């Protein structure tokens, strides 16, 4: 997994922080309650209601929440990738010399390796795949295209070849409209944003998340993960029999 996730490091650069300035409140959409000559302002918050989940069994629910943990682990890194990529591109736009640009990208890569390598190395294959998809969601480009733009097509090719060894592809796109796994990711994210378990970052891909989730009517399909673990158990049993 270390070699696989090494390929996403160059998507990051140093992150800058800025305090949010106070602004004047806008009372145009507020509601008022008048009682005994006094005016009490009550601001009503928007509440987004998503369809209640429909699980076929308790086992399916367990698989969904197993997958939920994977998304929770990968999402912050995709957000960080988007922030650092924006910062990196801004800084590169101010450098005219191509050689200096390459040197800067290499320095950033070294910095990120030192900063995040131990955490990223602990990701599983499923978490790595989710991260690749979420990088596309948050940056608007696949991991392959990001590497191609920052380094070269040749580098992107070899990084993708390495990923293929782990049965992953840096060219994978995020399509919650058509791909079940991507729908599950989006469903998990939107519910986490509403419950404030994750901090929302506007994706650079354009899609209507609430319409996609509403169309599914709460149905949850986790069959691919059940099959995956079934195969793993069979392999484990065969190995155990061989040892006997």
Per-residue pLDDT of 149-183, as tens digits, reads: 766 554 554 455 555 545 677 788 999 999 999 99
pLDDT at 49: 79
What is the residue-wise DSSP string for 155-213? HHHHHHHHHHHTT--TT----TTT-HHHHHHHHHHHHHHHTTSS-----SS---HHHHH
Q: Report DSSP letters for 80-147, one per residue.
A: HHHHHHHHHHHHHTT---HHHHHHHHHHHHHHHHHHHHHHHTT--HHHHHHHHHHHHHHHSS-HHHHH
CB burial readout 67-76, b (16+ within 10 A) else e = bbebbbbbbe
Average pLDDT over residues 124-142: 90
Mean pLDDT of 36-53: 65
Residue 233 has pLDDT above 90, yes or no: no
Q: What is the pLDDT of residue 10?
A: 47
Domain regions of the chain by residue span: 2-9+53-243
pLDDT score, position 24: 43
Average pLDDT score over residue span 237-244 = 77
Residue 31 pLDDT = 42
Over 90: is that where the pLDDT of 133 sits?
yes
Comparing 211 with 118, the larger pLDDT belongs to: 211
Report, as an integer, the average pLDDT of 186-201. Answer: 95
- State residue 161's pLDDT score: 54
> What does the pLDDT look like over 69-105, one tens digit per residue?
999 999 998 998 888 878 877 887 888 887 887 777 7
Span 140-144, mean pLDDT? 85
Across the chain, mean pLDDT equals 76
Residue 244's pLDDT band, with cuts at 50, 70 and 90, is low
pLDDT in tens, 50-71: 999 999 999 999 999 999 999 9
pLDDT number for residue 213: 95
Written as six digits, the tokens of 96 are: 């005219």
Q: What percent of the chain has pLDDT over 90?
A: 36
């Amino acid at each position: 997994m270390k070699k696989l996730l090494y390929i996403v490091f160059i998507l990051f650069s140093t992150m800058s922080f800025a305090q949010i300035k106070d602004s004047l409140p806008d009372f145009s959409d507020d509601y008022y309650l008048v009682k005994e000559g006094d005016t009490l302002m009550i601001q009503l918050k928007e509440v987004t209601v998503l369809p209640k989940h429909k699980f076929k069994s308790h086992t399916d629910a367990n698989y969904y929440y197993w997958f939920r943990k994977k998304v929770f682990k990968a999402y912050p890194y995709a957000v960080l990738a988007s922030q650092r990529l924006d910062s990196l591109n801004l800084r590169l736009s101010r450098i005219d010399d191509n050689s200096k640009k390459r040197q800067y990208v290499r320095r950033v890569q070294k910095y990120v390796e030192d900063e995040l390598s131990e955490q990223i190395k602990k990701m599983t294959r499923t978490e790595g795949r989710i991260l690749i998809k979420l990088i596309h969601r948050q940056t608007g480009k696949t991991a392959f295209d990001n590497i191609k733009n920052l380094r070269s097509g040749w580098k992107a090719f070899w990084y993708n070849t390495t990923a293929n060894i782990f049965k992953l592809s840096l060219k994978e796109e995020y399509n919650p409209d058509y791909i079940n796994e991507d729908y599950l990711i989006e469903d998990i994210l939107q519910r986490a944003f509403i419950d404030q378990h994750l901090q929302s970052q506007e994706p650079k891909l354009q899609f209507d998340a609430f319409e996609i989730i509403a169309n599914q009517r709460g149905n949850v399909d986790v069959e691919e993960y059940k099959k995956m673990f079934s195969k793993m158990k069979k392999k484990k049993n065969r190995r155990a029999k061989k040892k006997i």
